[in-house]
Structure 1
Amino acid sequence: MKRLIFRSLAFLFALVSANVFAEGELTIVSWGGSYAKASIDGIFKPFEEATGIKVNVEDYNGGLAQIRGQVESGNVHWDVVDVESQDDLIGCDEGLLEYLDDLELPDAPDGTSAEEDFFEDANSECGLGNIVWATVIAYNSSTYEEDPPSTMADFFDLEKYPGKRGMRRTPEVNFEFALMADGVPPEEVYDLLSTDEGIDRAFKKLDTIKDSIIFWETGAQPPQLLADKEVAITTAYNGRIFNAINTEKQPFVIVWDSHIRDYGQWVIVAGAPNLDNAKKFLQFAARSTSMAGVSNRISYGPLRHSAWGLVDKHVDTNIDMRPHMPTAPENSKNYLDNNAEWWAEHRDDLFERFGVWLSN
């Protein structure tokens, strides 16, 4: 069970004095593209300026394979990684990640303790809450000009909305999308997926569009697939589509119906070569101002209540960011919270079955 285990500080302290810099460096691994840029400008560069610690940034596509390989080989060169919530739970259970029980976190600007200020379940034994993000569906407005798709059921309706579909190459979120498209209420999805009948039903629904799916693996691919018109509609990370609309002026539309929310978390790789600097970074990233620094650049929400008061205009385009967040009231009419614990328990079996389905 995920739980908040961090002790909070009585006040927001400076990591180092203004003229005494720390030494060394730090390798942080994130998801590349517009999200990585938002993190670099919103957190990484301010951290470097505040501490003198050099941040080296690497990209990856998620999962634990690279972390597991480094830890098991004893050749760890990553320090901090931005992971999905189920990977935090699995990695912690397998001993791939450092425990954070001695990490002290800053209070909110008004003195509210970190424990009260963070969203429920944002933090875990090995993970520090970073962002709330969503997997949504999106389409190019020029493709469906009349009566455009507005529901998850429309995504699976090839007769009414013909064209290729983009989906991430994973059973995660795809099973949930399939069941919601088939009429299952969000609150019943994981109970149904816990049965053989539910898994079979999800596969059966995916079968209806299988021949029309182009699978993607990186967050940068869905907006590119839409721009190139390789797909008519795709699942995607909401922030990547927002960036394409807001910054690149692409004619894309986000459909929020049945979106799936998740938390991104900072973790420290077990045996990280720069452990002390990694902990200093997590303390810095936990600040409300740090979280807002990302959310004012890309539409992923902060995981501290106090940070929401700091979310305002996009730093470059001056657009109001709050209506574009997954948790905005207008976007919250019908959605599903990702059940990381469920996926941590069922992941291996379902990934194996999904792989067989892909090959058939």
Structure 2
Amino acid sequence: MKQVTRHFAAIVFSSALLTVSSAAIARAADVVIVANGGATQDAERKAVWEPAAKALGFTFDEDTSQSWTEGKAQVDAGAVTWDIVSLNMGEVPLALKANILSKLPADIVDRKDFVAGSVNDYCVGNTVFSTLIAYSTAKFGDQGPTNFVDFWDVKKFPGKRLMFKGPRGNMEAAALALGHPRTEVYKFLSTEEGRKAALDKIAELKPYAVWFDSGAQSTQLVRDGEVDMIYGWNGRIIAAIDAGAPFKINYKDSLLDIDCYAVLNGAPNIDNAIKFVKEISKAEYVKDLPKYIAYGSPNLKANASYDEKTLDRLTTSPQNAAEAYTTDFDFWGKYGTTLSEAFDHMLASN
């Protein structure tokens, strides 16, 4: 402790040490965890990371990232400063192809306690969320868009649409807007013709779309009244509604998705990272996540403690899940890279 105190005192009194490397900072903590910032990361810190760290006697540092490729850059450079990263389950196959994830112990969690598909050999699910439509009641009253055909109808529902700046979720939404039922979305998108048609459909909204890069940005734009409707992440939208944004959520054809914790190859604190993932995946912590953001946990044991009011706000509740369909992670593992490139090209073209 005295050594750490002297270290930080030196930073204060020596301008030379103001350029201390991020690697040195990372190794000052027992574990470094990375998520995507904003309300979600705040919720994870309060509900999960802080009490779990206290139980383990750990200290932790944290960082934010919007892409698993930032972790890849660290691994490729042989200069890894992060230990645990939060990924989307659909990104895990891409990260594995890049050989940047460390295999987790088989007993890190009891998979029977988790939603099917939310745990694999390299990642343990941390949140279940959905991508869905919400609209401004200040503009549309209670008569906003009820499905994706409506969301694409700029004459019946004029105004700015807030959408994620990437293909995930938008490809599925475009398939629905083209008239395909949710049970056939991935069958349609698994053909070259279907993927092209979906990208062309997304391109129709370019003059009316505002693109967000992060969940925090989407919450802020909704709160500020910069858009009239959004196809975005439920917890971020509810955070804006809780802050006073006059928006209403529509759960019909919402797309259920899962984020998870993984450990980077070459992580400087790999043993601590595995211990921390094991601890922060326990129901005793994740059950408190909805106190801070409207996301549920893949750990099914967490659901037993929720009252009806809490369940109403979660995509995992029976009434909301009945309106939803689930992300096909194999599809995104197969087509994620090429669709990201095609999406970027579509945005850049006239």
User: Which residues of structure 2 form unaligned runs of 5+?
Assistant: 1-27
Give per-residue Cα distances to partners, 1:159-215, cap 9 Å, x unaligned: 011011111111111010011122101111111111122112212322322211111
Aligned partner of 1:260 among 252, 255, 261: 255
Helix, strand or coil at the partner of 1:143: helix
Whether 1:79 aligns to 2:75 is no
Helix, strand or coil at the partner of 1:142: helix
Match of 1:317 in 2: none
Match of 1:176 in 2: 172
Whether 1:210 aligns to 2:191 is no
Judge conservation of contact 1:152–1:257 (CA < 8 Å) in 2: no
Judge conservation of contact 1:296–1:311 (CA < 8 Å) in 2: no
Match of 1:4 in 2: none
Match of 2:305 in 1: 310
Judge conservation of contact 1:27–1:79 (CA < 8 Å) in 2: yes
Match of 2:342 in 1: 353
Match of 1:163 in 2: 159
Judge conservation of contact 1:92–1:98 (CA < 8 Å) in 2: no
Give per-residue Cα distances to partners, 1:104-163, cap 9 Å, x unaligned: 33xxxxxxxx23211111101100111111111222210112522222221111001101
**What is the 5 A alignment of 1:53-132?**
53-61=58-66, 63-105=67-109, 114-132=110-128
User: Which residues of structure 1 form unaligned runs of 5+?
Assistant: 1-22, 106-113, 314-319
Match of 1:32 in 2: 37
Aligned partner of 2:51 among 46, 54, 58: 46
> For the residues of structure 2 that align with 1:207 and 1:273, how far apart are their CA atoms?
43
Give per-residue Cα distances to partners, 1:210-257, cap 9 Å, x unaligned: 2111111010122322233322111221111112223x1322211112
> For the residues of structure 1 that align with 2:96 and 2:203, how far apart are their CA atoms?
34
Match of 2:196 in 1: 200
Report the Cα offset of residue 24 of structure 1. 4.9
Judge conservation of contact 1:78–1:272 (CA < 8 Å) in 2: yes
Aligned residues: percent identity? 29
The TM-score with structure 1 as length reference comes to 0.85
Match of 2:222 in 1: 226
> For the residues of structure 2 that align with 1:334 and 1:42, how far apart are their CA atoms?
28
Judge conservation of contact 1:171–1:351 (CA < 8 Å) in 2: yes
Match of 1:322 in 2: 311
State how many pairs are aligned: 322
Give per-residue Cα distances to partners, 1:58-90, cap 9 Å, x unaligned: 1111x2210110000000000111110121222
Amino acid at match of 1:263: I
Runs of 4+ in 1 over 6 A off after TM superposition: none
Amino acid at match of 1:71: V
The TM-score with structure 2 as length reference comes to 0.88
Considering fraction of residues, name the structure with more helix: 2
Helix, strand or coil at the partner of 2:215: coil
Aligned partner of 1:339 among 310, 328, 342: 328
Aligned partner of 1:289 among 284, 287, 290: 284
Report the Cα offset of residue 94 of structure 1. 2.4
Give per-residue Cα distances to partners, 1:284-323, cap 9 Å, x unaligned: 112111211213321111112211112348xxxxxx2111
